[in-house]
């Protein structure tokens, strides 16, 4: 489409824009909107981006495609009046606790009300107060602040391919909620937190550990140490007037010590350890595969640094778990080594308890530290996670002028990393770091060991898939890098079907990788997010040591602290973990055939994603048909459940507490008849 559209008297050329909203913005006119995001489907629900078209009709500019010769007015009296009324209606049903709201400084609703000069709403509240959802370890949901813009719904479904939250009910009862009205902690949410990052109000926000960390810092019997992720130091300055992507490692170390942290470590050192262990694991698997061994691990090897991706794999691809690297994330590696050192010494400094706090860009890290696999003797390897935003709030609360602080060092040995360790903060960084290690470092002046290009056929995905090949000696390692879980799902399918070949796959749930984590300062401008990625690349390039293999502190750590070579027994004890199939929706059964007998036999058919793909829906329908045909309906409770925790052996049916894997109607009925035969006589009367 070419031509021109006249917007408020300005002739604006059509150059591929999909809607009038984009054209108006190109003309320098900021039309207000809640529900429009260029990377999501157009929705047109908030009705704030209204414009007058050709002097007649009024429509939402986000859904109207431009046509040559159109005349658009964005600021007429009619348009302003309708926008103000729509905004007043939103305010009427919105919980107005602005002074104490967590999103007070970044609330889009408050910002637009101020810009439009609103001082209140003429309309009464029509929705009843709803309870808070505090069931997730990572996210808190307040439905009373939801304006039904649908941003979280579309992001979860379109970018992450999960759909853990959606619209329910009608009229004044309409709401956004997880399935069956459950908590986010009980459904298949992977804790990526992008719903909170995109929410224009505070209907969904990250859970906070600030109070617990303040209490630990005030405890005279505790030594509190911090570890700082690469992406956090690149973004925290945005909260204090520094530019996007400006590294603030030194200021951050100073601020943490002023807050009371005893020591400050670099999570990028843990990333260096991850590189060594993951590369060693990959090379061992590759050698086993080349030799035709049936044991030794499967290829492709999928990275395991992103806890949202790991949970997604456990829920949606349990059969893929043998392909996941057994390496802990860098955060957990640092926590494991610190806790092991404290245990060996009989406690922290002077016998005090050691409290490990991670400064992370990610909300899913809060879930990760609570995993039972990442505890030792009942104690978590990492005690608390503060997001970048949480730490910035603590710095502000303490009255520290962050931008004016001097630069302080991090504590050795876990305070120094290679550039490869820092590269973990952006998508592609893990693969790049492993590539440098496998390739034996970087030749002088070479910025990268791995060149990545978009993967053909995946351009339309709401995410990014890039591929590259690493030449290592006589071998060629095929590497795929993906961000966004919907794109990851499509890539996994393509690999399974043989349409894509890969040896090593890096998956990050968030846009741009960790720099776009939901714990970062809220920033939806792609250019500013890109500046964070550039900041990571700059920090990497400025390091004197670019490859993990050249970091002398890593080699010394293996020698003196671990007492083994990479991949050795002690390294596996302290730096590796395991994964298992996870429940998608907790404790949910949908009754389909409800018996009336005194001793009813429960029959539960799993219809979760994995079992569904293996035919459980057809199995359920056939089972109900046969139960009714044989006159057993009064004696049996048949229900659909959402997980049997045996996703790799589905479809699964439970009959009276006995699980049948790879079930058929015949196997299920045979078990049911056996259970009925053992039931009390009164229960089977009339059968």
Catalytic residue, chosen from 510, 514, 606, 611, is 514
Q: Check: CB of residue 267 under 8 Å from CB of residue 331.
A: yes
DSSP β-bridge partners for residue 58: 52
Which one-letter DSSP state was computed for residue 561? I
Alpha-carbon distance of 369 to 331, in angstroms, equals: 9
Residue 305: active-site member: yes
Determine which helix (DSSP H) or strand (DSSP E) holds 592, and give its type and residue range: strand 589-593
Alpha-carbon distance of 162 to 239, in angstroms, equals: 31
Q: Exposed (0-12), middle (13-18) or buried (19+): which is 263, by Cβ within 10 Å?
A: buried
Catalytic residue, chosen from 61, 325, 417, 646, is 325
Q: Check: CB of residue 622 under 8 Å from CB of residue 615.
A: no
Catalytic residue, chosen from 278, 314, 506, 523, is 278
Residue 622: active-site member: no
Q: Which two tokens stand for residue 660?
A: 């049948």
Alpha-carbon distance of 424 to 536, in angstroms, equals: 9
Q: Exposed (0-12), middle (13-18) or buried (19+): which is 160, by Cβ within 10 Å?
A: buried
Q: Check: CB of residue 330 under 8 Å from CB of residue 430.
A: no
Strands 658-660 and 379-380: unpaired
Sheet holding 50-53, edge to edge: 10-13, 4-7, 71-73, 50-53, 57-60
Q: Which two tokens stand for residue 377?
A: 């003797």
Closest CA to 631 of 674, 676, 590: 676
Residue 365: active-site member: yes
Which one-letter DSSP state was computed for residue 155? I
Alpha-carbon distance of 326 to 328, in angstroms, equals: 6
Residue 368: active-site member: yes
Residue 514: active-site member: yes
Catalytic residue, chosen from 17, 102, 281, 523, is 281
Alpha-carbon distance of 434 to 370, in angstroms, equals: 27
Catalytic residue, chosen from 368, 390, 432, 506, is 368
Catalytic residue, chosen from 108, 311, 365, 582, is 365
- The Cα-based distances of 221 to 338, 357, 381 in angstroms read 17, 16, 19
Alpha-carbon distance of 90 to 97, in angstroms, equals: 15
Residue 56: active-site member: no
Which one-letter DSSP state was computed for residue 413? S
* 3-state SS class at 667: helix
What phi and psi values does residue 204 have, to the nearest 5 degrees?
-135, 125
Catalytic residue, chosen from 46, 107, 156, 305, is 305
Catalytic residue, chosen from 349, 373, 379, 630, is 373
- The Cα-based distances of 251 to 241, 421, 441, 556 in angstroms read 13, 20, 30, 28
The alpha-helical segments, DSSP class H, found in 219-323 are: 230-235, 249-259, 267-290, 307-316
Which one-letter DSSP state was computed for residue 661? S
Q: Which two tokens stand for residue 598?
A: 């005194």
Residue 373: active-site member: yes
Q: Which two tokens stand for residue 28?
A: 């320098």
Active site residues: 278, 281, 305, 325, 365, 368, 373, 514
């Amino acid at each position: 489409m070419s031509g021109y559209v006249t917007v408020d008297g300005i002739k604006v050329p059509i150059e591929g824009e999909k809607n009038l909203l984009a054209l108006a913005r190109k003309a320098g006119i900021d039309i207000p909107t809640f529900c429009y995001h260029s990377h999501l489907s157009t929705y047109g629900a908030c009705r704030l981006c209204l414009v007058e078209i050709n002097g007649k009709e009024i429509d939402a500019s986000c859904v109207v495609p431009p046509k040559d010769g159109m005349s658009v007015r964005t600021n007429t009296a009619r348009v302003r009046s309708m926008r103000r009324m729509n905004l007043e209606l939103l305010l009427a049903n919105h919980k107005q606790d602005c002074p104490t709201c967590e999103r007070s400084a970044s609330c889009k609703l408050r910002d637009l009300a101020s810009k439009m000069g609103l001082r209140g709403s003429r309309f009464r509240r029509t929705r009843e107060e709803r309870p808070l959802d505090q069931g997730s370890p990572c996210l808190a949901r307040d439905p009373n602040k939801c304006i039904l813009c649908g941003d979280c719904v579309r992001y979860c479904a379109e970018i992450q391919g999960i759909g853990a939250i959606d619209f329910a009910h009608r009229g004044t009862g309409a709401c956004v909620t997880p399935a069956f009205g459950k908590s986010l902690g009980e459904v298949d949410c992977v804790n990526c937190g992008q719903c909170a990052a995109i929410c224009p109000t505070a209907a969904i926000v990250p859970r906070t550990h600030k109070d617990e960390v303040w209490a630990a810092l005030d405890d005279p019997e505790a030594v509190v140490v911090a570890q700082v992720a690469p992406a956090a130091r690149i973004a925290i300055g945005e909260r204090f007037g520094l530019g996007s992507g400006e590294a603030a490692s030194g200021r951050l170390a100073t601020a943490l010590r002023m807050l009371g942290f005893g020591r400050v470590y670099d999570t990028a050192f843990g990333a260096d350890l991850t590189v060594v262990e993951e590369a060693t694991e990959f090379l061992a698997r590759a050698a086993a595969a080349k030799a035709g061994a049936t044991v030794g691990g499967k290829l492709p090897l999928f990275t395991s640094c992103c806890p949202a991706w790991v949970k997604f794999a456990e829920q949606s691809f349990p059969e893929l778990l043998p392909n996941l690297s057994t390496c802990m994330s860098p955060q957990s590696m640092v926590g494991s080594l610190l806790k092991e050192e404290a245990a060996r010494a009989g406690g922290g400094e002077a016998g005090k308890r050691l409290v490990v706090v991670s400064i992370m860009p990610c909300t899913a890290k809060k879930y990760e530290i609570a995993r039972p696999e990442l505890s030792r003797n009942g104690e978590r390897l990492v005690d608390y996670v503060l997001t970048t935003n949480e730490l910035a709030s603590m710095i502000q609360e303490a009255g520290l002028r962050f931008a004016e602080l001097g630069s302080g060092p991090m504590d050795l040995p876990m305070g120094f990393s290679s550039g490869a360790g820092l590269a973990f903060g952006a998508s592609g960084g893990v693969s790049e770091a492993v590539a440098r290690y496998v390739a034996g470092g970087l030749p002088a002046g070479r910025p990268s060991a791995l060149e990545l290009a978009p993967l053909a056929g995946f351009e339309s995905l709401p995410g990014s898939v890039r591929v590259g090949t690493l030449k290592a000696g006589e071998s060629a390692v095929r590497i795929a890098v993906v961000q966004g879980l919907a794109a990851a799902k499509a890539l996994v399918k393509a690999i399974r079907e043989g349409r894509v070949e890969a040896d090593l796959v890096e998956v990050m749930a968030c846009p741009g990788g960790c720099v776009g984590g939901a714990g970062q300062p809220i920033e939806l401008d792609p250019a500013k997010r890109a500046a964070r990625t550039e900041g990571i690349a700059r920090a990497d390039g400025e390091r004197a040591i670019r490859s993990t293999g050249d970091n002398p502190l890593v080699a010394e750590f293996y020698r003196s602290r671990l007492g083994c070579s990479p991949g050795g027994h002690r390294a596996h004890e302290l730096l590796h973990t395991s994964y298992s199939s996870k429940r998608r929706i907790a404790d949910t059964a949908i009754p389909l055939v409800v018996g009336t007998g005194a001793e009813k036999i429960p029959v539960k058919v799993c219809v979760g994603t994995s079992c569904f793909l293996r035919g459980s829906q057809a199995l359920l329908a056939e089972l109900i048909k046969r139960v009714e045909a044989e006159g057993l309906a009064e004696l049996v409770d048949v229900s659909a459940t959402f997980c049997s925790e045996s996703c790799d052996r589905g479809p699964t049916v439970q009959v009276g507490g006995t699980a049948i894997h790879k079930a058929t109607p015949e196997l299920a009925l045979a078990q049911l008849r056996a259970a009925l035969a053992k039931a009390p006589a009164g229960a089977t009367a009339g059968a």
